[in-house]
Amino acid sequence: MVQYDYVTKVYYKDIDQMGVVYYARYFEFFEQARTELLNDLGIIVTDIEDKGYFLPVVSATCDYKEGAKFEDEIIVRTLIKEVPRARMRIDYEVYRKADNRILVTGHTIHGFIDKDGKPKRPPKSLIDCLSPLIAD
């Protein structure tokens, strides 16, 4: 399993009228965290795109347990548990840093397509990077 903890702070722009993080912002936190996870592995998204691969989100879920509030520091734990075949699943767990309380869980599923939107197999460089890190 591949795991990366992305830490960020909740800003005023992130909260709703009730003072908690607006529900859709968690998908933006997921995007930031997965970009940092891939970067940490030496996988640069723009490099993959330059090679003709695109990874659109084809499914996304988010289950809310408790809302983060203004100025909370949160940890977005990002996990890849399986080597991608036709699609890649990335799981997320969001914790409040101060008390390590779980706030949100979710996942995204990404396809692999070319610039014309036609399905492709995952890039070999991605498979080669992830395979030794994930025990099947």
C-beta neighbour count of 32 within 10 angstroms: 13
C-alpha 54, offset from chain centre: 15
79-108 confidence digits (pLDDT tens): 999 999 989 999 999 999 999 999 999 999
26-79 confidence digits (pLDDT tens): 999 999 999 999 999 999 889 999 999 999 999 999 999 999 999 999 999 999
CATH number, domain with residue 9: 3.10.129.10
Residue 135 lies in a domain: no
Total-model pTM: 0.94
Residue 136 lies in a domain: no
* Parent domain of 57: 2-129
Report how far residue 29's alpha carbon sits from residue 105's, in angstroms, rounded to the nearest whole number: 12
Residue 134 lies in a domain: no
Residue-wise over 112-128: b if at least 16 C-beta within 10 A, else e? Answer: bbeeeeeeeebbeebee
Residue 14 lies in a domain: yes
- The total of structural domains in the chain comes to 1
Q: Judge whether residue 136 has pLDDT over 60.
A: no
Segment 13-27 shows an average pLDDT of 97
